[in-house]
Amino acid sequence: MDSFSSGSSSSSQPSPDAIMDQVKTQLAQAYAEQFIESLRGKAFEKCVTSPGKSLSSSESSCISRVVDRYIEATGIIMRTLVNTPR
C-alpha cells in the first residue's frame, strides 16, 4: 500500500505536514528549473550573436548584465507579491 492509499491508519504514513513540506520542496525545485531555463533562453537570445566554441567578451558581459537584471526584476516581483495584502 502506498502513502496515498486509503485503509487503516499506520504510523508509517507521512503526516499532512510532511506531505505539504514535500510538495513545497518539489514546487520550489520546479520553479528554480523554470527560472534557470527562462534565464538561459533570454540571455542567449539577447546576447549571443554568433554561436561558437566560446563567448566573446561582449557576449559574456551582456549575459552577466541580463542575469543581474533578471534576478533583480524577479526579486522585486517576489517582494511585491509577498507584501501584497490578500
8 CB-side CA count, 13 A: 1
Question: What's the average model confidence in pLDDT over 40-65?
Answer: 91
Q: Is the dihedral of CA 75, 77, 82, 83 positive or negative?
A: positive
pTM of the model: 0.60
Q: For 68-79, what is the mean pLDDT? A: 90
Of the CATH numbers 1.20.1050.10, 3.40.430.10, 1.10.287.810, 3.40.630.30, which one belongs to the domain with range 17-83? 1.10.287.810
Exposure letters 20-52 (e unless 16+ CB within 10 A, then b): eeeeeeeeeeeeeeeeeeebeeebeeebeeeee
Name which residue leads in pLDDT, 2 or 82: 82
Arithmetic mean of pLDDT, 46-55: 90
